Amino acid sequence: MAKSKPRVKAPKKASAGDVVTIKTLISHKMETGLRKDKEGKIIPRKIINKFECSFNGASVFSCDILPAVSANPYLEFTMKAVESGEYNFKWTDDDGSIYEKKSKLTVA
């Protein structure tokens, strides 16, 4: 499988008190563990099972992801912009792999 690639669309600037929308997508096949290969063997489960977003070290949004989610999971959430800082986005895979992306926000 190709390397998972996280993508984030988050505003770089906001006014104090604005509610900003953050969109994330990660390229990932999301194998549920329920399908079989050509030889009839079960393909092992390999999914992104957790997503977390923190801002300046404080948790903003997190969720557990279950096998029913489609490939390339897309998540969208909002946050109130109070101060400037850095987002840290983290996706965790069944095999323990962690994919991270960072983004900065300037609040004026």
Per-residue pLDDT of the chain (108 residues), as tens digits, is 457 899 999 999 999 999 999 999 999 988 988 999 999 999 999 999 999 999 999 999 999 998 888 899 999 999 999 999 999 999 999 999 999 999 999 999
Q: Which domains does the chain have, with CATH numbers?
A: 5-35+45-107 (2.60.40.10)
What values do phi and psi take at 35, rounded to 5?
-90, 160
> What is the value of pTM for the model shown?
0.89
- Per-residue pLDDT of 48-69, as tens digits, reads 999 999 999 999 999 999 888 8
Edge-first strand listing for the sheet containing 13-14: 13-14, 98-107, 85-93, 48-55, 58-64
CA pair distance 24, 9, nearest whole angstrom: 6
C-alpha distance across the termini of the chain, in Å: 43
